[in-house]
Structure 1
C-alpha cells in the first residue's frame, strides 16, 4: 500500500494486520510520531491515542526522509529512510508511551 503524502508530512499504516496504527513523518527533519484508535470504557465512541516522538524519533538534521513498510504482516514498526544518504532506522511505539527509532545504519 503506498503512503499518503500531504504537505510536508507523510503517513503510513503499520504493516501488522491486526493493528490500527498510522505513523506520521516530517519529511524535512525525520521526526516520527504515531496515532491509533483506542476504546474508551463506558463511552459509545473510542479515542485517538497518539504517541509523541521519543528517543531517536525526534527532529534531526534537515534532509529528505520517507517511510517504508515491510511486507511482514506481524510487524508493528516502519522503516524511516533518508533518501539523500541511504541511511535507515526502524521506528516503533515503545511501551505504549512514545515512538522510538533505532540508530541509523546502512
Structure 2
C-alpha cells in the first residue's frame, strides 16, 4: 500500500501543473503613435486588443477601450499560438502565428466595427512558393493597393 501514496501524489502534482502555465501572450502594435496592445490565447489563438482612450465626461484619467474578437479572430483549432509584431513603424496590426504548423494570419482592429479581425491562416508551400489559405476564398498575397504605402517603397 505504501507505493500507491507517492504515485498518487506525483499524479496530483502533474495534473495541477497546467493551471500554472501561462495562458496569454501580449504584444504592442508596432505603430509608433498608437497605444494599442494585442492579447492572444496561446492555446485557442483567440485575439483581442485594448488601448487607452480619453474619458469624454467627468475629467478623470481616461479609460481602457477593448475590442473583442471578430471575424477570424475567434478561437481556432487548439495548438500553440503566438503574436509577432512587424518592424513597420506605421503598421497597426500583428501576425498571429501557429508555432506547430507554421501558419500565419494578420490581425488588426476594425474601429468602425469595434472588433479585432484576422485574415485566414495560411503558410508558404514546402518549396518556398506561395501557399493557399486553409479555408475560404482569401488569398495569401493582397492585390495592389491593399496595404497602405510604406514610405514610397514599391
TM-score by length of 2: 0.64
Corresponding position of 1:37: 52
Q: Does 1:95 align with 2:106?
A: no
Q: Match for residue 63 of structure 1?
A: 79
Q: Which runs of 5+ in 1 are unaligned?
A: 1-5
* Equivalence for 1:3: none
**In structure 1, what is the equivalent of residue 121 of structure 2?**
104
TM-superposed CA distance for 1:7, in Å, is 1.6
TM-score, L = length of structure 1: 0.92
SS at match of 1:52: strand
Which residue is 2:37 aligned to? Answer: 22
CA distance in 1 between counterparts of 2:90 and 2:74 reads: 25
Report the Cα distance in structure 1 between the residues aligned to 2:56 and 2:76, rounded to whole angstroms: 38
**How far apart in 1 are the matches of 2:53 and 2:92?**
16
CA distance in 2, matches of 1:60, 1:10: 16
Gaps of at least 5 residues in structure 2 are 1-20, 124-154
Write 1 or 2 for the structure with the bigger share of helix: 2
Bigger strand fraction: 1
Note the C-alpha offset of 1:44. Answer: 2.2
Whole-angstrom distance in 2 between the partners of 1:101 and 1:26: 14
Distance in 2, matches of 1:53 and 1:103, equals: 14
Separation of aligned partners in 2, 1:68 and 1:19: 16
